[in-house]
Chain A
Amino acid sequence: MYKIVKKRELTNNIFLMDIEAPRVAKSANPGQFIIIKNDEKGERIPLTIADYDKEAGTVSIVFQTVGQGTKQLATFNEGDYVRDFVGPLGQPSEFIHENIEELKKKKLIFIAGGVGAAPVYPQVKWMKENGIDVDVIVGSRNKELLILEDEMRSVASNLYIATDDGSYGFNGRVTDCLKDLVENKGNKYDHAIVIGPMIMMKFMVALTKEMDIPTTVSLNPIMVDGTGMCGACRVTVGGQVKFACVDGPEFDGHLVDFDESMRRQALYKSEEGRAQLKIEEGSTHNHGGCGCGGEK
């Protein structure tokens, strides 16, 4: 059992939790993720590591309530326990193996969409701790949904906020913002790291390909075990089948087959919808029927 030592609602339906998991905290690196299982009957849910405190033995996760599992998790409070919390999983970001002096010579930009700000944060924080200046774009639909702004500001050398409706910062999408920085402001970037919804990453890599900026993305496919034993998370990268949980989750964005990944992500859409309806409408959903949970 793993104790929730802190819970904070960052914005509408996006929560941050610090979980007591000393072994995970001790080994965690930027770019890695964990799997959480709320209770005995719960699913295994993969979430990227948003921060970690090796001394306190805690790991931060940020999640948006999109389905049954995350909605249930949001009902847990400080002092409650989740049944399972395993990690760190996946490969750490490549840059942690690079020479710091070499990294300092490069101009990096991190681009986050929505909840993607959470996994981008520990990477930018790592850069700051190692004396590397990086730019960051955080995109959000509007000002209200923006998360971790202060945290990000404290570690990024330049933070650009882009809102779809122009309610805060740059008016437009993250792609428009990057275009503006490169084409109008004359910024040059040697590498982009993009984390966000699959569709946002797809459009972003199309743009960075045009701009000839090497780009790393962090994929979030369906996972079960997260240790490489099932292949549920398989993705095609450069024509090769890779397991995102062990080979990734970060890959060369210009080589990822996004259409396939987006399709695979939707595999259980109707099941998720049904599970969701059951929570929202309770017994009215099944009309007390056969209990088989609807058509297969």
Chain B
Amino acid sequence: MDMADRMKRTPVKEQEPKIRAKNFDEVCLGYEEEKAIQEANRCLTCKNPKCVEGCPVSVNIPGFISYVKEGKIEEAAKEIAKYSALPAVCGRVCPQENQCEGKCVLGIKGQAVAIGKLEKFVADWSRKNNVDLSQTEPKNNKKVAVVGSGPAGLTCAGDLAKKGYDVTIFEALHEAGGVLVYGIPEFRLPKDEVVKAEIENIKKLGVKIETNVIVGRTVTIDELIEDEKFEAVFIGSGAGLPKFMGIPGENANGVFSANEFLTRVNLMKAFKEEYHTPVKVGKKVAVVGGGNVAMDAARTALRLGAETHIVYRRGIDELPARAEEVHHAKEEGIIFDVLTNPNEILVDENGWVKGMKCVKMGLGEPDASGRRRPVEIEGSEFIMDVETVIMSLGTSPNPLISSTTEGLEINKWKCIVADETTGLTSREGVYAGGDAVTGAATVILAMGAGKNAAKAIDEYLKNK
């Protein structure tokens, strides 16, 4: 391979923007084996791999890529399985540019190795070829309860099951997966094909999943410990409580939280005719916010046939969403109204949204977060004529568990206080991780927290 080839990433096939804007099929079609091997061959197999440092679950990246180079995809899958229980998910939704790929040495002079796309390829290949990844240590008959079946809970449960524990996950919704099933849309992360299959893999390790159990209502943590004899608990209940702006008109018909909108479409499959849950979007939709969830909501509304605007109070460079997501959204025809902030939702005589009063913003001095603070430009008020408004302003942890668990310490943001390396909370034997601890963050950070907690729980129960 000459240097010029080495510096350039092997392109990956995607659905055409105009076509995919009208369907819910996956945007990224992924590598074929030949292309994957070609891309794998760009990897320098560093002795001191920086990419691994960038991965929150420390996947042996040069290790699995070396197998891909040789066409040994099954071995590659087994190598990844040592570190990650959800590779088909992570390969798709991790912000690799800030993680593994952000550290790749090839990225200094050229383009980083497409680690995420290679991981996706390996995971998809192993699923299609039924590679058995269900090896576990002998059963030790110690029961561990995991609260929440999102990325943190699934990872923690998977790791503990591999170590021989008897693990039960309790999930409040009717489907396991957390944000992977209700939040991230089908076109980024196919549900039946990818998410369900990865959850099946975790079940094959012996993990039991009880859906329709709301910890804090159906059963409490104390009951799990005292009555059902779980020796340790991991709380991975996420941050699912949506924020609203508190502006006039926000309860009008046609204003949704992004969580409600995405849950209707993703979990309840409102976009499919044969499913019964309705969803309603007008001809023109405004999504307020600039994060990944805002991009997901906007691209979903677009696919339901609406002209869709992202309304964000800072500038285009300050958008917190992944660059790839913003790029995809733009390609599909999402209109970005940046430096714009709504201050009132206008309501018609029947209580429906008829417009949104906005004000233009300028950028002032950097604030505590290091980003330039948006400041209202006086006299710049204008009205956007929209019929639907989707609020995507972030989420915070649900207080249901903390308020029903004696002695579980929380901070002022209602996040559970837990040790950074072990996930241990203020209660002995009770661990926590993911968004429930950090507030809304990423899938892979939640997985990292689940992994660390599994290690800590194993040490705790071995010494108990």
Residues of chain A touching chain B, judged by Cβ–Cβ distance below 8 Å, are 23-24, 27, 37, 41-44, 68-69, 83-89, 224-225, 227-232, 234-236, 241, 246, 260, 263-264, 266-268, 271-272, 275, 291-293, 296
Contacts and interface: CB of A to CB of B under 8 A. Distances in A.
Contacts of A235: 251
A296 B242 contact: no
B280 A268 contact: yes
Contacts of B213: 23, 86
Nearest to B272: A41
26 contacts: A24-B218, A27-B217, A37-B174, A41-B269, A41-B275, A43-B277, A44-B268, A86-B174, A86-B212, A86-B213, A88-B218, A224-B260, A224-B264, A225-B173, A228-B398, A229-B241, A230-B242, A230-B263, A231-B256, A232-B260, A236-B251, A241-B250, A246-B400, A275-B276, A275-B278, A296-B281
A241 B248 CA distance: 11
B304 interface: yes
Contacts of B395: 229
A260 B251 contact: yes
A275 B273 CA distance: 10
A68 B250 CA distance: 29
B212 A225 contact: no
Interface residues of B, number: 41
Contacts of A43: 268, 276-277
A166 to B, nearest CB: 35
Main secondary structure of the interface of B (DSSP, over half): loop
Contacts of A272: 278
Contact of A271 (B246, B269, B280): B280
B381 to A, nearest CB: 24
A227 B172 contact: yes
A261 to B, nearest CB: 9
B324 interface: no
Contacts of A227: 172-173, 214, 217, 240, 398, 400
B217 A88 contact: yes
Contact of B259 (A86, A229, A292): A229
B218 A291 contact: no
B320 interface: no
B350 interface: yes
B378 interface: no
B305 interface: yes
Among A87, A230, A266, max chain B CB count under 10 A is at A230
Contact of B278 (A225, A234, A263, A268): A268
Contacts of B212: 84-86
B214 A89 contact: yes
Q: Can you list the 3 inter-chain pairs with the closest CB atoms, starting with the nearest?
A: A230-B260, A229-B240, A271-B278
B218 A23 contact: yes
Contacts of B219: 23, 27
B274 interface: yes
B10 interface: no
Nearest to B243: A231
A69 B268 contact: no
Contacts of A275: 276, 278
Most chain B CB within 10 A, of A27, A69, A83, A85, is at A27
Contact of B274 (A41, A231, A241): A41
A291 B398 contact: no
A86 B281 CA distance: 28
- Which among B172, B211, B213 has the greatest number of chain A C-beta atoms within 10 A? B172
A56 to B, nearest CB: 17
